[in-house]
Amino acid sequence: MKNSWVTRYKSPFDFAQGKQVTRIVRLCVMATLCLLFFTTSAWAATTNQISQFGITWTFDKAYEYGQFANGDYWVVAEGAPATVKITDITPRSTVDNGITRHGTMINPKSGDINPNFGNGKHTYQGFDSRLYNYDISYNKGRPSGFDISASNPMIVSAGSSVISAKSTLNATWDFTNNCLLTVAVLTVLDTAPPVDSFRPGYSGDDKAVKFNAADLDYSKLGRYLLTGATTPLVQGTGTHGANDDAYQADTWERMVERPWLDFAYVEGGTYMHPQYNSAFDGGALAGQVSQIALVLNSSNYTNAEKSKLFIRFVQVGIDNYSIHEGQNIALDTWRGTGQICAGRKFPILFAGIALNDNSMLNIGTDGRGVRFGEDEQTFYVTQYDIDHYSPTPVPPQVTRLSINDSVVIYYTNEHLDIPEWGIMHYDGPQYDNFNWVGAPYRTSNGPYWAGFILAAQMMHMKSLWNHDALFDYMDRYMSITPSQSPSWVGTAWATHRSEFGPVWPDTSIISYGDVDGNGEVSAYDAALTAQAAVGLITLTAEQVQAADVSGEGEVSAYDAALIAQRAVGLISKFPVEE
């Protein structure tokens, strides 16, 4: 018993120590519970209002929210089925003097086609009634056709991209100033995504979060020195500083800060481009793609310095791919016509390389037939192109058609296999024109393409692109008209193009006037040119390029006269070299 009593006995110190241990245990349990609490959704940030780019979404209550790697916002839906209730959007979509502005669309699709407009290939939109193909049913910012409010909310299901627009306030639209100022994308998910996730593409119904900034492979970027570039990299350091809201091209980061809204067909899509989000037409847009592509493949900046631009540009590629992914898509959204649809393919392949994603990598080879402007406007001249069209046609031959009253120069046997441009070669080869200056839109597209073509070479993208005619045509274009906009892109081409395989036609420089190829311009070269001009001899494709010193796209007596003048020193440059 004594031993039992001793065992059970505890001194005052023992009791005090036991209480201390109990307190410690309780604190440990509480700390564990707190840790569990703070690492679950209960710790996630919540809000009843989100603002971006001058657009504000107000909710009926606080929802969990956050930002994707590129800065766009996400919000987690609640309930069964999971939804988010939006009670107001600023600016609110209202009808004023018959004009509906500031609309909102959800999961827009390239295949939502208006069969009653133009050629039946134009995409419905719900952003602004001044734009083509407005349909109130696509404007989700006016629930049931009325102003949004707490009593008339917009109810959005999980798995949705909410795209809200801010419009201009002018009453009319004259095709020179797009009537959307900006758009922002709010993605509604069923669960919070991992930190630094990429936003799912805004188009279509697939809102699975597939990619993360941690997946970016910086080793796929080239390290080539650029000279002469003056646009700043970092947003806020451009001409307009932090006040760059209305200046989309102020810095390279600013160019891709906001979504490039580009799901609609050809002209309708161009006119829908928000002024503060992306360039207006395909020429300027391709020019920005060229600049960014070269900067990301340059040695001028470290990977850390390029990271924000890298993330934002990859997001453009993800968005572009989403436009032709899933159901209800139109494969000809970016078909070849005019100066509208270039520059969309490179971001997709770039994102595929950066993220090692086979779906995007195979956009040029998967057989789905997605159409891209720069591919459809470049081709190799075939015997059919030569034989089928004639100035004095005998059926089944046809006459080539002129656009903008340009002089038509027909293809002849000396042009066989030459890489060439046609304003709408895929759909309208009758408009092809060998006239270098007169071929419509040749010289308004070419000055913007060299950068992304060179970057594609730097990233070993040519086989993935799967359209060699484009690459060879740009070699030819740059040999005849080597200027680019901005000029430093042309400098980059001149510096680095020869590092990536043969340059068409296996020489990087055309010796203008040196028709016989002996290394000098002589009276004999002028004589050869004169004979070719009247059909006495046939020149090779390389000789045609050397003889066309006027840059007019054909060999003429004028070219022969210019070569004769150069041979005796009366002129020091040919017009094509100016």
Residue 72 falls inside a structural domain: yes
Residue 420 falls inside a structural domain: no
Task: Count Cβ atoms below 10 Å from residue 436 Cβ, excluding itself.
Answer: 20
At residue 557, the 3 state secondary structure works out as helix
Q: Which domain holds residue 16?
A: 2-38
pLDDT number for residue 122: 84
If residue 83 lies in a helix (H) or strand (E), which one and from where to where? Answer: strand 83-90
Residue 418 falls inside a structural domain: no
Q: Are residues 350 and 372 in the same domain?
A: yes
| Residue reference for tokens 């980059």 | 492
Q: Are residues 455 and 534 in the same domain?
A: no
Q: Are residues 373 and 292 in the same domain?
A: yes
160 phi-psi bin (left φ>0, alpha ψ -120 to 50, beta other): beta
Q: Are residues 61 and 144 in the same domain?
A: yes
- CA 267/CA 339 separation, integer angstroms: 10
pLDDT number for residue 286: 98
Q: Which residues pair with 47 in a beta bridge?
A: 63
Distances (CA, A) of 71 to 9, 96, 236, 571: 66, 33, 15, 57
Per-residue model confidence as pLDDT tens digits over 152-193: 999 999 999 999 999 999 877 666 568 999 999 999 999 999
CA-closest candidate to residue 123, choices 139, 111, 140: 111
- CATH number at 527 reads 1.10.1330.10
Residue 130 falls inside a structural domain: yes
Q: Are residues 75 and 9 in the same domain?
A: no
Average pLDDT for 213-225: 97
pLDDT number for residue 1: 39
Look at the alpha carbons of 384, 385, 391, 396 in this order and tell me if their dihedral is positive or negative: positive
- CA 263/CA 201 separation, integer angstroms: 11
Per-residue model confidence as pLDDT tens digits over 256-292: 999 999 999 888 888 999 999 999 889 999 999 999 9
pLDDT number for residue 404: 76
Q: Are residues 82 and 140 in the same domain?
A: yes
If residue 312 lies in a helix (H) or strand (E), which one and from where to where? Answer: helix 303-322
Distances (CA, A) of 434 to 378, 423, 488: 12, 11, 28
Q: Are residues 455 and 535 in the same domain?
A: no
Q: How many domains does the chain have?
A: 4
- CA 105/CA 127 separation, integer angstroms: 7
DSSP string, 518-553: SSS--HHHHHHHHHHHTTSS---HHHHHHH-TT-SS
Q: Are residues 59 and 102 in the same domain?
A: yes
CA-closest candidate to residue 72, choices 52, 90, 86: 52
At residue 162, the 3 state secondary structure works out as strand
pLDDT number for residue 118: 63
Q: Are residues 338 and 473 in the same domain?
A: yes
| Residue reference for tokens 């990977």 | 303
- CA 422/CA 399 separation, integer angstroms: 15
Q: How confident is the model at residue 13 (pLDDT cuts 50, 70, 90)?
A: very low
pLDDT at 540 over 90: no
Classify each residue of 106-116 as buried b or exposed e, where b means 16 or more C-beta atoms within 10 Å of its C-beta.
bbbbbbbbbee
CA-closest candidate to residue 341, choices 302, 368, 310, 375: 375
Q: Are residues 337 and 467 in the same domain?
A: yes
CA-closest candidate to residue 362, choices 216, 463, 293: 463
Q: Which residues pair with 156 in a beta bridge?
A: 84
Per-residue model confidence as pLDDT tens digits over 443-485: 999 999 999 999 999 999 999 999 999 999 999 999 999 999 9
pLDDT number for residue 367: 85
- CA 61/CA 85 separation, integer angstroms: 8
Residue 387 falls inside a structural domain: no
Residue 400 falls inside a structural domain: no
Residue 427 falls inside a structural domain: no
Q: Are residues 259 and 368 in the same domain?
A: yes
pLDDT number for residue 20: 53
- CA 407/CA 401 separation, integer angstroms: 10
| Residue reference for tokens 């696509």 | 138
Q: Are residues 250 and 359 in the same domain?
A: yes
Residue 236 falls inside a structural domain: yes
